[in-house]
Chains A and B, each alone.
Chain A
Protein backbone atom coordinates (compact mmCIF):
# COMPACT_ATOMS: atom_id res chain seq x y z
CA UNK A 1 0.00 0.00 0.00
CA UNK A 2 1.21 3.46 -0.74
CA UNK A 3 0.51 6.51 1.32
CA UNK A 4 1.13 10.17 0.70
CA UNK A 5 1.93 11.86 4.00
CA UNK A 6 1.46 15.59 3.62
CA UNK A 7 2.70 18.03 6.21
CA UNK A 8 0.97 21.35 6.74
CA UNK A 9 2.48 23.59 9.40
CA UNK A 10 0.05 25.12 11.86
CA UNK A 11 1.58 28.53 12.13
CA UNK A 12 2.14 31.40 9.79
CA UNK A 13 4.35 30.65 6.90
CA UNK A 14 7.73 32.23 7.17
CA UNK A 15 10.89 32.12 5.22
CA UNK A 16 12.94 31.06 8.22
CA UNK A 17 14.24 27.56 7.59
CA UNK A 18 14.25 24.90 10.31
CA UNK A 19 17.12 25.10 12.83
CA UNK A 20 20.14 22.85 12.26
CA UNK A 21 18.98 20.62 15.12
CA UNK A 22 15.50 20.30 13.64
CA UNK A 23 16.94 19.63 10.21
CA UNK A 24 19.21 16.96 11.62
CA UNK A 25 16.34 15.23 13.38
CA UNK A 26 14.15 15.35 10.29
CA UNK A 27 17.04 14.08 8.23
CA UNK A 28 17.51 11.19 10.63
CA UNK A 29 13.84 10.26 10.51
CA UNK A 30 13.83 10.35 6.72
CA UNK A 31 16.96 8.21 6.87
CA UNK A 32 15.23 5.76 9.23
CA UNK A 33 12.34 5.44 6.78
CA UNK A 34 14.78 4.78 3.96
CA UNK A 35 16.66 2.19 6.01
CA UNK A 36 13.37 0.49 6.77
CA UNK A 37 12.86 0.22 3.02
CA UNK A 38 9.54 2.07 3.13
CA UNK A 39 10.48 5.49 1.80
CA UNK A 40 9.75 5.99 -1.87
CA UNK A 41 10.28 9.72 -1.88
CA UNK A 42 10.48 12.74 0.42
CA UNK A 43 10.28 16.36 -0.72
CA UNK A 44 10.14 19.79 0.89
CA UNK A 45 8.17 22.65 -0.55
CA UNK A 46 9.31 26.23 -0.82
CA UNK A 47 7.07 29.00 0.52
CA UNK A 48 3.97 29.74 -1.52
CA UNK A 49 5.42 33.03 -2.75
CA UNK A 50 7.13 30.82 -5.35
CA UNK A 51 3.90 29.05 -6.26
CA UNK A 52 0.57 29.57 -7.92
CA UNK A 53 -2.98 28.33 -8.00
CA UNK A 54 -4.83 27.50 -11.19
CA UNK A 55 -8.52 27.01 -11.44
CA UNK A 56 -10.36 25.61 -14.46
CA UNK A 57 -13.85 27.04 -14.44
CA UNK A 58 -16.86 25.21 -15.90
CA UNK A 59 -16.96 27.81 -18.66
CA UNK A 60 -13.57 26.54 -19.81
CA UNK A 61 -11.51 29.50 -18.62
CA UNK A 62 -8.42 29.28 -16.48
CA UNK A 63 -7.88 31.58 -13.55
CA UNK A 64 -4.34 31.84 -12.21
CA UNK A 65 -3.56 33.34 -8.79
CA UNK A 66 0.03 33.85 -7.75
CA UNK A 67 1.23 33.18 -4.23
CA UNK A 68 1.77 33.91 -1.41
CA UNK A 69 -1.45 32.50 -0.04
CA UNK A 70 -2.84 33.72 3.28
CA UNK A 71 -4.46 30.52 4.60
CA UNK A 72 -1.12 29.11 5.61
CA UNK A 73 -2.50 26.26 7.70
CA UNK A 74 -3.57 24.61 4.47
CA UNK A 75 -0.29 24.97 2.65
CA UNK A 76 1.84 21.94 2.04
CA UNK A 77 5.33 22.32 3.49
CA UNK A 78 6.48 18.86 2.55
CA UNK A 79 5.46 15.32 1.91
CA UNK A 80 6.73 11.82 1.75
CA UNK A 81 5.52 8.82 -0.16
CA UNK A 82 5.63 5.59 1.79
CA UNK A 83 5.18 1.98 0.80
CA UNK A 84 3.99 0.05 3.85
CA UNK A 85 2.02 -3.05 4.78
CA UNK A 86 -0.70 -1.30 6.73
CA UNK A 87 -2.17 2.13 7.26
CA UNK A 88 -1.24 1.84 10.93
CA UNK A 89 2.40 1.76 9.88
CA UNK A 90 2.00 4.90 7.76
CA UNK A 91 0.36 6.65 10.69
CA UNK A 92 3.14 5.61 13.07
CA UNK A 93 5.85 7.02 10.80
CA UNK A 94 3.85 10.20 10.37
CA UNK A 95 3.44 10.55 14.13
CA UNK A 96 7.20 10.38 14.53
CA UNK A 97 7.58 13.17 12.01
CA UNK A 98 4.91 15.34 13.60
CA UNK A 99 6.52 14.82 17.02
CA UNK A 100 9.71 16.34 15.60
CA UNK A 101 8.15 19.41 14.05
CA UNK A 102 5.88 19.76 17.08
CA UNK A 103 3.29 21.73 15.24
CA UNK A 104 0.77 21.51 12.49
CA UNK A 105 -1.23 18.86 10.82
CA UNK A 106 -0.30 15.89 8.73
CA UNK A 107 -2.60 14.19 6.33
CA UNK A 108 -2.19 10.52 5.50
CA UNK A 109 -3.79 9.68 2.16
CA UNK A 110 -3.81 6.30 0.52
CA UNK A 111 -2.91 6.14 -3.15
CA UNK A 112 -5.07 4.25 -5.61
CA UNK A 113 -3.47 1.10 -6.97
CA UNK A 114 -3.37 1.67 -10.69
CA UNK A 115 -6.10 -0.57 -12.01
CA UNK A 116 -5.34 -3.22 -14.60
CA UNK A 117 -7.04 -3.32 -17.98
Chain B
Protein backbone atom coordinates (compact mmCIF):
# COMPACT_ATOMS: atom_id res chain seq x y z
CA UNK B 1 0.00 0.00 0.00
CA UNK B 2 1.42 3.31 -1.09
CA UNK B 3 1.69 5.80 1.73
CA UNK B 4 0.09 9.20 1.45
CA UNK B 5 3.49 10.89 1.11
CA UNK B 6 4.62 8.53 -1.62
CA UNK B 7 1.43 9.15 -3.52
CA UNK B 8 1.95 12.86 -3.04
CA UNK B 9 5.52 12.61 -4.33
CA UNK B 10 4.20 10.78 -7.39
CA UNK B 11 1.85 13.70 -7.97
CA UNK B 12 4.63 16.23 -7.58
CA UNK B 13 6.89 14.29 -9.95
CA UNK B 14 4.17 14.13 -12.59
CA UNK B 15 3.88 17.89 -12.48
CA UNK B 16 7.51 18.90 -12.08
CA UNK B 17 9.78 16.30 -13.68
CA UNK B 18 9.93 17.87 -17.14
CA UNK B 19 10.71 21.26 -15.70
CA UNK B 20 13.43 19.90 -13.43
CA UNK B 21 15.05 17.99 -16.28
CA UNK B 22 14.80 21.06 -18.48
CA UNK B 23 16.50 23.31 -15.89
CA UNK B 24 19.31 20.85 -15.42
CA UNK B 25 19.68 20.29 -19.14
CA UNK B 26 20.20 24.00 -19.63
CA UNK B 27 23.15 23.81 -17.24
CA UNK B 28 24.76 20.52 -18.16
CA UNK B 29 23.70 20.68 -21.82
CA UNK B 30 23.07 16.96 -22.03
CA UNK B 31 19.59 15.55 -21.70
CA UNK B 32 20.72 12.11 -20.58
CA UNK B 33 22.81 13.49 -17.77
CA UNK B 34 20.04 15.91 -16.83
CA UNK B 35 17.58 13.06 -16.54
CA UNK B 36 19.89 11.02 -14.36
CA UNK B 37 20.53 13.94 -12.03
CA UNK B 38 16.79 14.52 -11.82
CA UNK B 39 16.23 10.86 -10.96
CA UNK B 40 18.86 11.19 -8.20
CA UNK B 41 16.93 14.15 -6.85
CA UNK B 42 13.72 12.12 -6.88
CA UNK B 43 15.42 9.40 -4.85
CA UNK B 44 16.53 12.02 -2.35
CA UNK B 45 12.96 13.31 -2.15
CA UNK B 46 11.61 9.81 -1.56
CA UNK B 47 14.06 9.49 1.32
CA UNK B 48 13.66 12.89 2.91
CA UNK B 49 10.13 14.16 2.27
CA UNK B 50 8.32 11.48 4.30
CA UNK B 51 10.07 12.93 7.37
CA UNK B 52 10.49 16.59 6.47
CA UNK B 53 7.20 16.98 4.68
CA UNK B 54 6.75 18.13 1.11
CA UNK B 55 8.51 21.46 0.50
CA UNK B 56 6.53 24.54 -0.53
CA UNK B 57 8.32 24.71 -3.86
CA UNK B 58 8.98 21.11 -4.82
CA UNK B 59 10.42 21.93 -8.26
CA UNK B 60 13.01 24.24 -6.73
CA UNK B 61 13.93 21.63 -4.11
CA UNK B 62 14.40 18.92 -6.74
CA UNK B 63 16.45 21.14 -9.03
CA UNK B 64 18.62 22.30 -6.14
CA UNK B 65 19.14 18.73 -4.95
CA UNK B 66 20.21 17.66 -8.43
CA UNK B 67 22.60 20.59 -8.73
CA UNK B 68 24.14 19.87 -5.33
CA UNK B 69 24.75 16.30 -6.30
CA UNK B 70 26.45 17.38 -9.50
CA UNK B 71 28.54 19.96 -7.62
CA UNK B 72 29.60 17.40 -5.02
CA UNK B 73 30.65 14.95 -7.70
CA UNK B 74 32.70 17.59 -9.48
CA UNK B 75 34.35 18.74 -6.27
CA UNK B 76 35.39 15.22 -5.51
CA UNK B 77 37.20 15.30 -8.82
CA UNK B 78 34.78 13.02 -10.56
CA UNK B 79 33.81 13.69 -14.12
CA UNK B 80 30.08 13.69 -14.58
CA UNK B 81 29.97 10.47 -16.48
CA UNK B 82 26.87 8.72 -17.50
CA UNK B 83 25.84 5.68 -15.55
CA UNK B 84 25.74 3.53 -18.65
CA UNK B 85 29.46 2.96 -19.00
CA UNK B 86 29.05 1.13 -22.29
CA UNK B 87 28.24 4.43 -23.95
CA UNK B 88 31.89 5.25 -23.66
CA UNK B 89 32.03 8.92 -24.44
CA UNK B 90 33.11 12.00 -22.57
CA UNK B 91 31.26 15.20 -22.14
CA UNK B 92 32.50 17.77 -24.58
CA UNK B 93 34.57 20.85 -23.88
CA UNK B 94 31.55 22.85 -22.82
CA UNK B 95 31.46 20.68 -19.79
CA UNK B 96 34.98 21.02 -18.50
CA UNK B 97 34.65 20.67 -14.76
CA UNK B 98 35.41 24.29 -13.89
CA UNK B 99 32.99 25.80 -16.36
CA UNK B 100 30.30 23.30 -15.47
CA UNK B 101 30.83 23.98 -11.78
CA UNK B 102 30.44 27.69 -12.39
CA UNK B 103 27.18 27.16 -14.26
CA UNK B 104 25.86 24.89 -11.53
CA UNK B 105 26.60 27.42 -8.86
CA UNK B 106 25.19 30.41 -10.71
CA UNK B 107 21.94 31.57 -9.22
CA UNK B 108 20.15 32.22 -12.47
CA UNK B 109 16.43 32.78 -12.58
CA UNK B 110 14.63 29.92 -14.19
CA UNK B 111 12.86 30.71 -17.37
CA UNK B 112 10.68 27.66 -17.35
CA UNK B 113 9.18 28.29 -20.74
CA UNK B 114 12.55 28.74 -22.39
CA UNK B 115 13.99 25.68 -20.65
CA UNK B 116 11.07 23.51 -21.72
CA UNK B 117 11.36 24.79 -25.25
CA UNK B 118 15.00 23.74 -25.44
CA UNK B 119 14.09 20.34 -24.09
CA UNK B 120 11.23 19.86 -26.56
CA UNK B 121 13.33 20.92 -29.55
CA UNK B 122 16.17 18.65 -28.50
CA UNK B 123 13.94 15.63 -27.86
CA UNK B 124 12.45 16.11 -31.32
CA UNK B 125 15.72 16.76 -33.13
CA UNK B 126 15.60 15.51 -36.74
CA UNK B 127 18.94 13.74 -36.32
CA UNK B 128 16.95 11.16 -34.34
CA UNK B 129 14.63 8.64 -35.95
CA UNK B 130 10.92 9.30 -35.52
CA UNK B 131 10.61 6.37 -33.11
CA UNK B 132 13.46 7.73 -31.04
CA UNK B 133 11.98 11.22 -30.95
CA UNK B 134 8.64 9.84 -29.83
CA UNK B 135 10.14 7.71 -27.06
CA UNK B 136 12.46 10.45 -25.82
CA UNK B 137 9.69 13.06 -25.80
CA UNK B 138 7.32 10.81 -23.90
CA UNK B 139 10.07 10.07 -21.44
CA UNK B 140 11.55 13.48 -20.81
CA UNK B 141 8.51 15.70 -21.33
CA UNK B 142 5.73 13.29 -20.58
CA UNK B 143 7.41 11.72 -17.60
CA UNK B 144 6.19 8.32 -18.76
CA UNK B 145 8.15 5.30 -17.57
CA UNK B 146 9.86 2.98 -20.04
CA UNK B 147 7.25 0.37 -19.21
CA UNK B 148 4.36 2.75 -19.88
CA UNK B 149 5.82 3.76 -23.24
CA UNK B 150 6.41 0.12 -24.16
CA UNK B 151 2.83 -0.82 -23.33
CA UNK B 152 1.53 2.06 -25.37
CA UNK B 153 3.47 0.94 -28.45
CA UNK B 154 3.01 -2.78 -27.85
CA UNK B 155 6.72 -3.52 -27.84
CA UNK B 156 8.94 -5.03 -25.15
CA UNK B 157 10.22 -2.69 -22.47
CA UNK B 158 13.81 -3.43 -23.45
CA UNK B 159 13.11 -2.13 -26.95
CA UNK B 160 12.07 1.24 -25.61
CA UNK B 161 14.90 1.32 -23.08
CA UNK B 162 17.43 0.75 -25.86
CA UNK B 163 15.73 3.26 -28.10
CA UNK B 164 16.04 5.95 -25.43
CA UNK B 165 19.64 5.10 -24.59
CA UNK B 166 20.59 5.22 -28.27
CA UNK B 167 18.77 8.49 -28.75
CA UNK B 168 20.66 10.15 -25.93
CA UNK B 169 23.92 8.79 -27.28
CA UNK B 170 23.18 10.04 -30.78
CA UNK B 171 22.49 13.54 -29.49
CA UNK B 172 25.81 13.53 -27.64
CA UNK B 173 27.83 11.98 -30.46
CA UNK B 174 26.48 14.38 -33.06
CA UNK B 175 27.22 17.24 -30.66
CA UNK B 176 23.70 18.53 -31.10
CA UNK B 177 23.85 21.98 -29.55
CA UNK B 178 21.46 22.33 -26.65
CA UNK B 179 19.58 25.41 -27.74
CA UNK B 180 16.39 26.77 -29.22
CA UNK B 181 16.77 27.08 -32.98
CA UNK B 182 16.48 30.50 -34.55
CA UNK B 183 15.41 32.10 -37.77
CA UNK B 184 14.76 29.84 -40.75
CA UNK B 185 15.83 26.75 -38.86
CA UNK B 186 13.07 27.38 -36.32
CA UNK B 187 10.32 26.70 -38.88
CA UNK B 188 11.71 23.34 -39.89
CA UNK B 189 12.51 22.31 -36.34
CA UNK B 190 9.08 23.35 -35.15
CA UNK B 191 7.53 21.23 -37.89
CA UNK B 192 9.53 18.31 -36.53
CA UNK B 193 8.17 18.90 -33.02
CA UNK B 194 4.59 19.16 -34.25
CA UNK B 195 5.04 16.00 -36.29
CA UNK B 196 6.12 14.08 -33.19
CA UNK B 197 3.24 15.39 -31.10
CA UNK B 198 0.68 14.60 -33.78
CA UNK B 199 2.15 11.15 -34.29
CA UNK B 200 1.79 10.39 -30.58
CA UNK B 201 -1.77 11.71 -30.70
CA UNK B 202 -2.75 9.46 -33.59
CA UNK B 203 -1.01 6.47 -32.09
CA UNK B 204 -3.51 6.74 -29.26
CA UNK B 205 -6.35 6.21 -31.71
CA UNK B 206 -5.03 3.46 -33.93
CA UNK B 207 -7.17 0.37 -33.60
CA UNK B 208 -5.20 -2.63 -32.50
CA UNK B 209 -6.18 -5.81 -30.75
CA UNK B 210 -5.73 -6.12 -27.02
CA UNK B 211 -5.52 -2.41 -26.29
CA UNK B 212 -4.89 -1.36 -22.76
CA UNK B 213 -5.50 1.96 -21.16
CA UNK B 214 -2.15 3.41 -22.17
CA UNK B 215 -3.35 4.15 -25.67
CA UNK B 216 -5.97 6.83 -24.99
CA UNK B 217 -3.53 8.22 -22.44
CA UNK B 218 -1.10 8.76 -25.34
CA UNK B 219 -3.55 11.01 -27.12
CA UNK B 220 -4.21 12.91 -23.92
CA UNK B 221 -0.50 13.36 -23.36
CA UNK B 222 0.02 14.60 -26.90
CA UNK B 223 -2.81 17.09 -26.46
CA UNK B 224 -1.27 18.24 -23.19
CA UNK B 225 2.14 18.71 -24.83
CA UNK B 226 0.47 20.69 -27.59
CA UNK B 227 -1.18 22.96 -25.04
CA UNK B 228 2.12 23.41 -23.22
CA UNK B 229 3.80 24.38 -26.48
CA UNK B 230 0.98 26.77 -27.33
CA UNK B 231 1.55 28.49 -24.00
CA UNK B 232 5.28 28.86 -24.67
CA UNK B 233 4.96 29.79 -28.36
CA UNK B 234 1.80 31.88 -28.52
CA UNK B 235 2.90 33.53 -31.75
CA UNK B 236 3.09 30.31 -33.75
CA UNK B 237 -0.16 29.70 -35.65
CA UNK B 238 0.68 26.10 -36.54
CA UNK B 239 1.03 25.21 -32.87
CA UNK B 240 -2.46 26.56 -32.15
CA UNK B 241 -3.66 24.88 -35.34
CA UNK B 242 -2.38 21.52 -34.15
CA UNK B 243 -3.91 22.04 -30.72
CA UNK B 244 -7.23 22.88 -32.38
CA UNK B 245 -6.99 19.75 -34.53
CA UNK B 246 -6.26 17.58 -31.50
CA UNK B 247 -8.89 19.14 -29.22
CA UNK B 248 -11.53 18.68 -31.92
CA UNK B 249 -10.48 15.13 -32.74
CA UNK B 250 -10.46 14.30 -29.05
CA UNK B 251 -13.95 15.77 -28.70
CA UNK B 252 -15.25 12.84 -30.75
CA UNK B 253 -13.46 10.11 -28.80
CA UNK B 254 -16.58 8.82 -27.07
CA UNK B 255 -18.49 8.62 -30.35
CA UNK B 256 -15.89 7.09 -32.61
CA UNK B 257 -16.18 3.44 -31.54
CA UNK B 258 -19.23 1.35 -30.81
CA UNK B 259 -19.70 -1.09 -27.93
CA UNK B 260 -17.90 -3.78 -29.92
CA UNK B 261 -14.90 -1.51 -30.30
CA UNK B 262 -15.48 -1.03 -34.03
CA UNK B 263 -14.83 2.41 -35.52
CA UNK B 264 -17.81 4.56 -36.56
CA UNK B 265 -17.43 6.97 -39.45
CA UNK B 266 -17.64 10.62 -38.51
CA UNK B 267 -20.82 11.22 -40.48
CA UNK B 268 -22.50 8.31 -38.70
CA UNK B 269 -21.44 9.22 -35.16
CA UNK B 270 -23.89 10.13 -32.41
CA UNK B 271 -23.16 13.83 -32.06
CA UNK B 272 -24.72 13.81 -28.60
CA UNK B 273 -21.54 12.09 -27.52
CA UNK B 274 -19.26 14.81 -28.79
CA UNK B 275 -17.56 16.65 -25.92
CA UNK B 276 -18.73 20.24 -25.91
CA UNK B 277 -15.93 21.54 -23.76
CA UNK B 278 -13.25 20.16 -26.06
CA UNK B 279 -15.13 21.51 -29.07
CA UNK B 280 -15.18 25.00 -27.60
CA UNK B 281 -11.50 24.70 -26.64
CA UNK B 282 -10.68 23.54 -30.16
CA UNK B 283 -12.62 26.36 -31.79
CA UNK B 284 -10.92 28.84 -29.46
CA UNK B 285 -7.48 27.50 -30.41
CA UNK B 286 -8.42 27.77 -34.07
CA UNK B 287 -9.58 31.35 -33.61
CA UNK B 288 -6.31 32.12 -31.89
CA UNK B 289 -4.37 30.65 -34.81
CA UNK B 290 -6.40 32.56 -37.37
CA UNK B 291 -6.08 35.82 -35.44
CA UNK B 292 -2.31 35.66 -35.93
CA UNK B 293 -3.20 36.43 -39.52
CA UNK B 294 -0.50 34.51 -41.31
CA UNK B 295 -0.81 32.35 -44.41
CA UNK B 296 -2.42 29.16 -43.10
CA UNK B 297 -0.26 26.09 -42.63
CA UNK B 298 -1.34 22.45 -42.84
CA UNK B 299 -2.29 21.99 -39.19
CA UNK B 300 -4.40 25.12 -39.15
CA UNK B 301 -6.17 23.99 -42.32
CA UNK B 302 -6.81 20.51 -40.99
CA UNK B 303 -8.07 22.08 -37.76
CA UNK B 304 -10.39 24.32 -39.75
CA UNK B 305 -11.74 21.34 -41.69
CA UNK B 306 -12.52 19.38 -38.59
CA UNK B 307 -14.04 22.51 -37.04
CA UNK B 308 -16.59 22.56 -39.87
CA UNK B 309 -17.76 19.14 -38.72
CA UNK B 310 -17.72 20.18 -35.07
CA UNK B 311 -19.98 23.16 -35.76
CA UNK B 312 -22.60 21.08 -37.60
CA UNK B 313 -25.37 19.89 -35.36
CA UNK B 314 -26.34 17.21 -37.85
CA UNK B 315 -24.41 15.83 -40.84
CA UNK B 316 -26.66 17.61 -43.34
CA UNK B 317 -25.86 21.02 -41.90
CA UNK B 318 -22.16 20.53 -42.63
CA UNK B 319 -20.58 23.36 -44.60
CA UNK B 320 -19.18 21.17 -47.37
CA UNK B 321 -18.34 24.08 -49.63
CA UNK B 322 -16.05 25.47 -46.97
CA UNK B 323 -14.50 22.06 -46.38
CA UNK B 324 -13.85 21.68 -50.11
CA UNK B 325 -12.18 25.10 -50.23
CA UNK B 326 -10.02 24.23 -47.23
CA UNK B 327 -8.95 20.94 -48.80
CA UNK B 328 -8.00 22.90 -51.90
CA UNK B 329 -5.73 25.14 -49.80
CA UNK B 330 -4.32 22.11 -48.02
CA UNK B 331 -3.69 20.38 -51.34
CA UNK B 332 -1.73 23.36 -52.57
CA UNK B 333 0.58 22.99 -49.55
CA UNK B 334 0.85 19.22 -49.28
CA UNK B 335 0.32 18.12 -52.90
CA UNK B 336 -1.12 14.86 -51.66
CA UNK B 337 -3.48 12.66 -53.71
CA UNK B 338 -5.27 11.66 -50.51
CA UNK B 339 -6.03 15.30 -49.76
CA UNK B 340 -7.31 15.68 -53.31
CA UNK B 341 -9.54 12.64 -52.84
CA UNK B 342 -10.96 14.17 -49.67
CA UNK B 343 -11.56 17.37 -51.60
CA UNK B 344 -13.39 15.40 -54.27
CA UNK B 345 -15.68 13.91 -51.65
CA UNK B 346 -16.37 17.34 -50.16
CA UNK B 347 -17.09 18.75 -53.64
CA UNK B 348 -19.52 15.91 -54.29
CA UNK B 349 -21.36 16.80 -51.09
CA UNK B 350 -21.60 20.49 -51.94
CA UNK B 351 -21.94 20.42 -55.73
CA UNK B 352 -23.34 16.99 -56.43
CA UNK B 353 -21.95 13.56 -57.30
CA UNK B 354 -21.10 14.36 -60.92
CA UNK B 355 -18.73 17.16 -59.94
CA UNK B 356 -17.11 14.92 -57.35
CA UNK B 357 -16.79 12.01 -59.77
CA UNK B 358 -14.90 14.13 -62.29
CA UNK B 359 -12.29 14.90 -59.62
CA UNK B 360 -12.11 11.28 -58.46
CA UNK B 361 -11.65 10.04 -62.01
CA UNK B 362 -8.73 12.42 -62.43
CA UNK B 363 -7.02 10.57 -59.57
CA UNK B 364 -7.28 7.11 -61.14
CA UNK B 365 -3.80 7.24 -62.74
CA UNK B 366 -2.17 8.14 -59.41
CA UNK B 367 0.42 5.48 -58.57
CA UNK B 368 0.31 6.12 -54.82
CA UNK B 369 -3.43 5.45 -54.73
CA UNK B 370 -3.22 2.19 -56.61
CA UNK B 371 -3.77 0.11 -53.48
CA UNK B 372 -5.80 2.67 -51.57
CA UNK B 373 -9.24 1.18 -51.07
CA UNK B 374 -10.87 4.52 -50.33
CA UNK B 375 -10.42 5.56 -53.95
CA UNK B 376 -12.63 2.87 -55.52
CA UNK B 377 -14.91 3.12 -52.46
CA UNK B 378 -15.44 6.84 -53.04
CA UNK B 379 -15.93 6.26 -56.76
CA UNK B 380 -18.47 3.55 -56.02
CA UNK B 381 -20.48 5.85 -53.72
CA UNK B 382 -20.68 8.53 -56.37
CA UNK B 383 -21.58 6.11 -59.17
CA UNK B 384 -24.33 4.70 -56.99
CA UNK B 385 -25.73 8.17 -56.35
CA UNK B 386 -25.71 8.79 -60.10
CA UNK B 387 -27.69 5.60 -60.67
CA UNK B 388 -24.83 3.82 -62.44
CA UNK B 389 -25.35 0.69 -60.39
CA UNK B 390 -23.43 -1.88 -62.40
CA UNK B 391 -20.28 0.25 -62.37
CA UNK B 392 -20.81 1.03 -58.69
CA UNK B 393 -20.97 -2.65 -57.87
CA UNK B 394 -17.70 -3.31 -59.66
CA UNK B 395 -16.01 -0.54 -57.75
CA UNK B 396 -17.35 -1.68 -54.37
CA UNK B 397 -16.05 -5.16 -55.11
CA UNK B 398 -12.67 -3.77 -56.08
CA UNK B 399 -12.49 -1.72 -52.90
CA UNK B 400 -13.45 -4.79 -50.84
CA UNK B 401 -10.54 -6.73 -52.31
CA UNK B 402 -8.10 -3.93 -51.46
CA UNK B 403 -8.91 -3.51 -47.81
CA UNK B 404 -7.14 -5.47 -45.07
CA UNK B 405 -9.88 -4.88 -42.54
CA UNK B 406 -12.44 -7.72 -42.37
CA UNK B 407 -15.32 -5.61 -41.22
CA UNK B 408 -14.69 -2.99 -43.87
CA UNK B 409 -14.50 -5.68 -46.53
CA UNK B 410 -17.82 -7.07 -45.42
CA UNK B 411 -19.39 -3.63 -45.50
CA UNK B 412 -18.12 -2.96 -49.00
CA UNK B 413 -19.30 -6.35 -50.24
CA UNK B 414 -22.72 -5.62 -48.78
CA UNK B 415 -22.81 -2.31 -50.65
CA UNK B 416 -21.83 -4.17 -53.83
CA UNK B 417 -24.66 -6.64 -53.38
CA UNK B 418 -27.23 -3.91 -52.78
CA UNK B 419 -26.13 -2.26 -56.05
CA UNK B 420 -26.73 -5.49 -57.86
CA UNK B 421 -30.34 -5.46 -56.81
CA UNK B 422 -30.78 -1.84 -57.98
Contact = CB atoms under 8 A, between A and B. Distances in A.
Contacts of A99: 56
A23 interface: no
Given A34-B231, A38-B224, A117-B259, A84 B14 contact: yes
A1 to B, nearest CB: 8
B12 interface: yes
Interface stretch (B177-185, B215-223, B347-355, B366-374): B215-223
Contacts of B223: 37, 83
What range describes how many residues of B lie at the interface? 35 or more
Nearest to A117: B259
A86 B225 contact: no
Interface residues of A, number: 25
Interface string A74-117: 00000001011110111111010001000000000000011111
A49 interface: no
Interface stretch (B85-93, B166-174, B273-281): B273-281
B11 A86 contact: yes
23 contacts: A34-B227, A35-B232, A36-B224, A36-B228, A37-B224, A37-B227, A41-B277, A85-B14, A85-B217, A88-B7, A89-B15, A91-B8, A92-B12, A93-B15, A113-B254, A114-B254, A114-B273, A114-B275, A115-B254, A116-B256, A116-B257, A117-B257, A117-B258
Interface of B: 7-8, 10-12, 14-15, 56, 112-113, 143, 217, 220-221, 223-228, 231-232, 253-261, 273, 275, 277, 281
Nearest to A83: B220
B11 A89 contact: yes
Contacts of A83: 220, 223-224
Q: 7 nearest interchain CB pairs?
A: A117-B259, A92-B11, A88-B11, A37-B227, A114-B254, A37-B224, A37-B228
Contacts of B260: 117
A40 interface: yes
Given A35-B112, A92-B11, A114-B273, 14 more contacts: A35-B228, A35-B231, A36-B15, A36-B228, A37-B231, A85-B217, A86-B10, A86-B14, A88-B8, A89-B10, A92-B14, A115-B254, A116-B254, A117-B258
